[in-house]
């Protein structure tokens, strides 16, 4: 992951750097870290090179630099970047919500909260990616967040969105291994469902946002409920 920390207190970056390195070690990740002391420098950098996550402070010694104003501007131009607010001032949370920040972290930084936010951010970054599917010789880019479910089909699979279906050469097992298990759940030998599209479930049947019904095998029913509860409590629903 490419991660930017924007804070005029370099000690905050140093603290985050230690924790991010620890996260990388425990999760077998590799993060590229950059530090900037004010948002205008982040803006200039993002014009040249993309970033996955930006940790943004709200208050700067230079009063002409306002984190909220810059956040709004950056979000409108860099839709695939995740912005996490860093602040010691909870009274500015409301402004952060209006700017549609992905998450808020109160200083001093807590390791568990940071690790939880990084895990959720990685899953969200995957959902923002697209996969390319060929149909009649024409490539179609499908956002992972738009996939409702996969179904097995003679060693291959079918990918279903709200309004369309695509044949895939990959098996259901290959998709299951490729996609995040925190978002996609193998609820049946023939189905892999995107938990973001689940609106209700009962009697071993899942109802999706488009009204479709997906069966859940008896042996998977309890684990599905636990997986969905874990997903739902993260409070970053896509629908």
**Structural domain boundaries of the chain?**
2-127, 134-232
Q: Report which secondary-structure segment, H or E, holds 160.
A: strand 156-160
Instruction: Based on DSSP, count helices (H) and strands (E) in the chain, helices before strands.
Output: 7, 15
* Model pLDDT for residues 143-173, shown as the tens digit of each residue: 998 999 999 999 999 999 998 999 999 999 9
* Model pLDDT for residues 18-65, shown as the tens digit of each residue: 999 999 998 888 999 999 999 999 999 999 999 999 999 988 888 889
Give CATH for domain 134-232.
2.40.50.1020
Q: What's the pLDDT at 119?
A: 87
* Model pLDDT for residues 10-26, shown as the tens digit of each residue: 999 999 999 999 999 98
Give CATH for domain 2-127.
3.40.50.2300
Contact 190, 160 (CB under 8 A): no
Greater model confidence, 100 or 127:
127
Show Cβ contacts of residue 53 under 8 Å, excluding neighbours closer than 6 positions: 1, 2, 3, 4, 81, 82, 83, 84, 118, 121, 125
Which of 77, 78, 23 is CA-nearest to residue 53?
A: 78
């Amino acid at each position: 992951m490419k991660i930017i920390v924007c804070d005029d207190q370099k000690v905050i970056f140093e603290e985050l750097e230690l924790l991010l390195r620890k996260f990388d070690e425990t999760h077998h990740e590799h993060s590229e870290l950059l530090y900037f002391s004010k948002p205008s420098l982040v803006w200039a950098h993002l014009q040249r090179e993309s970033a996955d996550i930006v940790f943004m402070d709200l208050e700067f010694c230079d009063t002409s630099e306002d984190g909220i104003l810059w956040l709004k501007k950056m979000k409108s131009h860099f839709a695939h970047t995740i912005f996490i607010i860093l602040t010691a001032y909870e009274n500015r949370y409301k402004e952060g919500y209006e700017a549609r920040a992905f998450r808020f972290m109160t200083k001093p930084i807590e390791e568990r909260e940071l690790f939880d936010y990084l895990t959720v951010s990685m899953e969200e970054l995957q959902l923002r990616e697209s996969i390319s599917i060929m149909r009649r010789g024409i490539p179609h880019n499908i956002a992972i967040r738009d996939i409702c479910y996969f179904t097995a089909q003679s060693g291959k699979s079918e990918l279903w969105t709200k309004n369309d279906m695509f044949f895939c050469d990959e098996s259901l097992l290959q998709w299951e291994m490729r996609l995040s298990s925190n978002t996609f759940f193998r609820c049946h030998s023939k189905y892999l469902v995107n938990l973001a599209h689940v609106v209700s479930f009962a009697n071993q049947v899942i109802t999706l946002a488009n009204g479709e019904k997906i069966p859940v095998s008896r042996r998977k029913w309890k684990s599905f409920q636990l997986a969905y509860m874990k997903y739902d409590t993260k409070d970053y629903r896509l629908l």
